Amino acid sequence: QVKLLQSGAALVKPGASVKMSCKASGYTFTDYWVSWVKQSHGKSLEWIGEIYPNSGATNFNEKFKGKATLTVDKSTSTAYMELSRLTSEDSAIYYCTREATVVLDYWGQGVMVTVSS
């Protein structure tokens, strides 16, 4: 069955960067785009961007350009997102999701990022 297993929670200092992972299994990793979604505490969901593992092509929400970097390792079926120059506004849960054309169908369990000195 399709699974997306994300890395553990992170506590990072303001101004630092954090890199999180999303390991896919149960399907052909290179056939589907992977999206990343942010959920701030008690708030709705924001689409950050997407990456196509086969080519590395990316698309971003303008709001997250310069903040998020998306990469993949095809050999391990793992997608990565790095967030840079962290502030308290970046404290949130981050999800990776598989895109199935019209829908984000499978979601990882989420990574809680806390930015605090």
Partner 1 sequence: DIQMTQSPASLSASLEEIVTITCQASQDIGNWLAWYQQKPGKSPQLLIHSATSLADGIPSRFSGSRSGTQYSLKISRLQVEDTGIYYCLQRYSNPNTFGAGTKLELK
- 45 counts as binding partner 1 under rule CB under 8 A: yes
Q: Which is nearer to partner 1, 43 or 75 (CB)?
A: 43
State which of residues 104, 111, 113, 115 lies at the interface with partner 1 (CB under 8 A). Answer: 104
Query: Is 81 in contact with 66 (CB distance < 8 Å)?
Result: no
- How near is the Cβ of 77 to partner 1 at its closest, in Å? 19
Q: Please tell me the distance from the alpha carbon of residue 31 to that of residue 42, in angstroms, as a whole number.
A: 33
Contacts of residue 68, Cβ cutoff 8 Å, sequence gap at least 6: 36, 48, 49, 60, 81, 82, 83, 84
- 44 counts as binding partner 1 under rule CB under 8 A: yes
Enumerate binding residues for partner 1 (CB under 8 A): 35, 44-47, 50, 59, 61-63, 95, 100, 102-105, 107-110
